[in-house]
């Protein structure tokens, strides 16, 4: 059997069984792959490596779509990529912002501990 056709049939079967629209499937599968990748990588926070895995799988999906349809459908392709990466990207961004803010607080705390007390004149 043709692997491109088999892949397309699998996606259509998932869509049929779930009753979900294509955009909804992209959002859910993107987040599901992200969480699974984080679990397998042992990441505690939004990991860039997990996000890259989602991107790789989505690009493979879009390549299979291109092979099935015989040409790129750019509007659909761009929308699919954005929807798939939306929430995983948001998780990584929030994680990076929180980590940066924590590091800023730690630097200020350490700087305050090492600042000599002012001399009192009496």
SS3 content of the chain, % helix, strand, coil (to 5): 80, 0, 20
Instruction: Check whether 117 has a pLDDT greater than 90.
Output: no
- Six-digit token string for 61: 């999906």
Domain positions in the chain are 3-114
pLDDT at position 43: 85
| Contact predicate 41/95, CB 8 Å | no
pLDDT at position 45: 82
Average pLDDT on 93-109 reads 93
pTM over cut 0.75: yes
pLDDT tens digits, 67-90: 999 999 999 999 999 999 999 999
| Contact predicate 71/87, CB 8 Å | no
Instruction: Check whether 118 has a pLDDT greater than 70.
Output: no
pLDDT tens digits, 8-46: 999 999 999 999 999 999 999 999 999 999 999 998 788
């Amino acid at each position: 059997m043709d692997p491109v056709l088999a892949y397309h049939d699998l996606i259509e079967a998932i869509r049929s069984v779930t009753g979900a629209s294509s955009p909804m499937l992209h959002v859910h599968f993107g987040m599901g792959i992200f969480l699974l990748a984080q679990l397998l990588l042992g990441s505690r926070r939004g990991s860039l490596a997990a996000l890259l895995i989602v991107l790789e799988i989505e690009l493979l999906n879009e390549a299979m779509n291109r092979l099935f349809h015989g040409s790129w459908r750019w509007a659909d392709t761009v929308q699919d990529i954005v929807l798939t990466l939306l929430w995983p990207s948001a998780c990584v961004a929030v994680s990076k912002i929180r980590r940066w803010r924590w590091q800023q607080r730690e630097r200020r705390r350490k700087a305050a501990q090492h600042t000599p007390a002012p001399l009192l004149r009496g």
